[in-house]
Amino acid sequence: MNRDEIKTFLPHREPMLLVDDVVMEGDTAIGHYHVRGDEFFLQGHFPGNPVVPGVIQCEIMAQSSCILVRKELEGRTPLYSGINNVRFRQPVRPGDTMEIRARITSRRGMIFFVDAKATVNGKPCCQGELTFALIDNDKAK
């Protein structure tokens, strides 16, 4: 699924659409985001030593999880309801491509619990347990 296809599911748009592609492999979503270096979140983080902020890495993992719930996303907005046990292992910098592997560990109605792990060149950079709820669009406004 490329960026245009992802936009049919996710409400995110540039500059906050932070996934380039995502595919399913069994019950695992595999997403990628290539850090170009001109992203808004690198401006000032840090001058002369740009590093992708941890919160943005979490957002990249969450957006990459979109394909896991694609059938339920129509007419709904995904909102974070929790982020647990997040660990950052190495900095992510311009030129890096993050690969995210995510799978649903449990579900309660429209609340999803996801285990997500991100790597750069096969080395872990971020991992955590993400929880998000799908809210009907008319209630999300």
Say if residues 33 and 18 touch (Cβ distance below 8 Å).
Answer: yes
Active-site residue (options: 12, 32, 34, 45)? 45
Name the domain count of the chain: 1
The mean pLDDT value of the chain amounts to 96
Distance CA 103, CA 92 (A): 22
Q: What are 66's two structure tokens?
A: 């979109």
**pLDDT given at position 91:** 98
**pLDDT given at position 139:** 87
To the query of whether residue 45 is one of the catalytic residues in this protein, the response is yes
What residues have CB less than 8 Å from 44, skipping those under 6 apart? Answer: none
Residue 121 structural domain: 3-140
pLDDT along the chain (141 residues), means of 10: 95 96 97 97 96 98 94 93 97 98 98 98 98 92 76
DSSP per residue, 26-67: TTEEEEEEE--S--GGGTTSSTTS----HHHHHHHHHHHGGG
Say if residues 62 and 132 touch (Cβ distance below 8 Å).
Answer: yes
CATH number at residue 47: 3.10.129.10
